[in-house]
Amino acid sequence: MAKFIKIYPDNPNEKEIQKVVKILKDGGLVIYPTDTVYGLGCDITNSRALERIAKIKGIKLEKANFSFVCNDLSNISEYVKNLDTSSFKILKRALPGPYTFILEGNNNLPKEFKKKKTVGIRVPDNNIALELVKQLGNPIVSTSIYDEDEVIEYTTDPELIFEKWQDRVEAVIDGGYGDNTASTIIDLTGYEPEIIREGKGDIDIL
């Protein structure tokens, strides 16, 4: 059964963060809060954990469109090609925030994603998520937690998430109620930014 770990977003407890980081390093799956919906994530360097998430989502890993959750812009530059000035300015204005940016991947992508030309990058405005990535030392590969109920679409109550997911993950973080609106997705790989999905983020940043 998964651990249910309470962490306060305003001032994340170092000891509790370290508990979750250890689970991630050991190949565990973790459900954690972001600035939008709750995410299901694992260590980007752990192949077995990546395969587990893909299996849960019912897709082949090489075809999965998971996000890389980073803690700052320098983190991002490890996995994407050099950004032009206008794209960099957009990222600087928007992050941390409720956006997923589609960017061109570089040769540092984990082997599971080598065939992908683009990657989705997130730097959520949530202290728990940022601290997890910082302490882990590399990005978390992440996907949103969907709810089968079309009206709810995303589960927002961490206790209900725990009830539903406790047999499939190693930890669920209770960071308070989540949002039920996903991030805005913006593609920066073309000549002009393209909005793929409007979500919580304000598109006036473009």
> Is the predicted pLDDT of residue 21 greater than 80, yes or no?
yes
% of the chain with per-residue pLDDT over 70:
98
Tens digit of pLDDT for each residue in 46-100? 999 999 999 999 988 888 889 999 999 888 888 999 889 999 999 999 999 999 9
Q: Higher confidence at residue 87 or residue 146?
A: 87
Evaluate if residue 154 carries a pLDDT over 90: no
Identify the structural domains of the chain with CATH numbers, from first to last.
Answer: 3-197 (3.90.870.10)
Inter-axis angle of helices 14-25 and 127-136, to 10 degrees?
60
Single pTM value for the model: 0.95
